[in-house]
Chains A and B, each alone.
Chain A
């Protein structure tokens, strides 16, 4: 699937100008509130008409103001999951789920009711009314409803933003399954680094109505300067790792990555499972010699690949550990006293306890039960 967007749109004093093309499994539209990402997704869905420009999905033109084309939203076959679920209050959960199916030509129906209900774990809710559901359940039903219309593209507009942490943790695995087990391309709007790092294959960074950067998640996550101020502390490298083994005696899980083994608090995932690990830049220390007599368990050898000024008195140092990049945020003073410079051999040190469910994304056993 290729989504190509090239539009400019004006809303009062606010102007949006976006030009990108994504073929990712899950493309995140990422940026602070007011950056125009929700407007962009509404333009793709057809809820608003752009002032100027063109949007196409897999070569099918949805809007082209120059050619006078505007496909109305009900003909776009684009599923949308809203932040506020928007379940129909006068229908049961089953009625909500079946709604879109009705309007889908039989030849284009690929979504199967039982499979979707199963995927989202909502079988026990079918006869309930939306008003009787929890926030997390509502959102799962809303996702199911969008899926059962057999969309060609699924848009999710901050689907987790109005939920508390526990509910978020409940839904994230379902979105991961959606990404990995279905073929529908997804565009996901979020202002949370944790969600984007965990879910996205590609990221479009929005700022003040413009595309500030676009690329693969691993590359974008290295650019701490692109992150909104309130999320900067969460920024860091994203590593694709695999569960090697569990260390039951100490309650740890050992992950394998190109950079070496990384120990994290024990995860509720089987050996061999893929874990996308986010290493917060602020959690990484730098040593110029192999540390001894040190409590931190993760010591990765590498060379300094980049030194960038950070916010305030900090610097960001990218360390290339055997092809995988780890990002560290340290003070200017440390940088000078250690004489850190490009090409120098160093060790990145990360405490095991600095990883949590937000960075391992796998649900630690204690939380998985709750």
Chain B
């Protein structure tokens, strides 16, 4: 097993960077993910189908296309990119933040879908009961809706994290493949496969990828089961 952990500094950086990018992508997607899921589950307005299609676009488009669109919008000369860099000092292009953005966008449809399904499963009569007890809409959401959709929230977050760990096409198109900055695990593995004698390195990172994915999956199972038991939903 020791050879597995005998990584070069660059390889360690790729592992650390991947986890950082996936975590940030997941956490940053949660608030807008909940909001969009709520709108799609509960809202009744013209253009809902359009919004639904827009959210699902990254799932259908080739990842390279999504990455290129991100480059056009959030690149240094893109309208959103220029605005954010000028007013908030947030730069995406060729930075790890850009990798997180690409991963977040790619995982967004999966997250919204999971949360939306759990919101649709919430018994709205419970919310009405909370209303008669004096809770306004915000309190009802915080104390009734949110706890009831927690299993869906966890599932959505894990899906988003898993997608981010494996994201390759959009990331490499948007922020390229720069060691220590934007080189995530998949990009690093890809690089190894492109050079002679890179197979052992590729295999090491592949195994680490498998381990991280398994740990995330098991953790989510345990978490979901605990939440389920706490709620005693039979």
Contact, CB under 8 Å: B133 / A90: no
- What separation, in Å, do the CA atoms of A47 and B134 have in the docked complex? 12
Interface size on A, residues (CB 8 A): 30
Task: Please give the distance in Å from B148's CB to the nearest CB on chain A.
Answer: 6
Contact, CB under 8 Å: B134 / A129: no
Count A/B pairs, Cβ under 8 Å: 71
Contact, CB under 8 Å: B147 / A100: no
* Chain B residue at smallest Cβ distance from A103: B134
Chain A residues with Cβ below 8 Å from B130 are 88, 99
Contact, CB under 8 Å: A103 / B125: no
The stretch that binds B, out of A30-38, A79-87, A181-189, A193-201, is A79-87
Q: Select one of B126, B132, B135, B232 contacting A129, CB under 8 A.
A: B232
- What separation, in Å, do the CA atoms of A77 and B123 have in the docked complex? 23
Task: Please give the distance in Å from B98's CB to the nearest CB on chain A.
Answer: 39
Q: Which of A233-280 contact B (CB under 8 A)?
A: none
Contact, CB under 8 Å: A73 / B126: no
Q: Which of B197-233 contact A (CB under 8 A)?
A: 230-233
Chain A residues with Cβ below 8 Å from B123 are 86
- What separation, in Å, do the CA atoms of A130 and B147 have in the docked complex? 15
Task: Please give the distance in Å from B205's CB to the nearest CB on chain A.
Answer: 41
- What separation, in Å, do the CA atoms of A41 and B50 have in the docked complex? 39
Chain A residues with Cβ below 8 Å from B85 are none
Contact, CB under 8 Å: A145 / B133: yes
Take A80-B129, A86-B129, A90-B147 as given contacts and tell me if A104 and B232 are in contact as well, using a CB distance cutoff of 8 Å.
no
Q: Could you mark each residue 220-244 of chain A with 1 if its beta carbon is under 8 Å from any beta carbon of chain B, else 0?
A: 0000000000000000000000000
A74 at the interface (CB under 8 A from B): yes
- What separation, in Å, do the CA atoms of A73 and B130 have in the docked complex? 10
Contact, CB under 8 Å: B232 / A132: yes
- What separation, in Å, do the CA atoms of A80 and B129 have in the docked complex? 8
- What separation, in Å, do the CA atoms of A79 and B133 have in the docked complex? 6
Contact, CB under 8 Å: A89 / B132: no
B128 at the interface (CB under 8 A from A): yes
Q: Which 9 A-B pairs have the closest CB atoms?
A: A103-B134, A100-B133, A86-B129, A131-B232, A80-B132, A129-B232, A90-B147, A73-B131, A90-B231
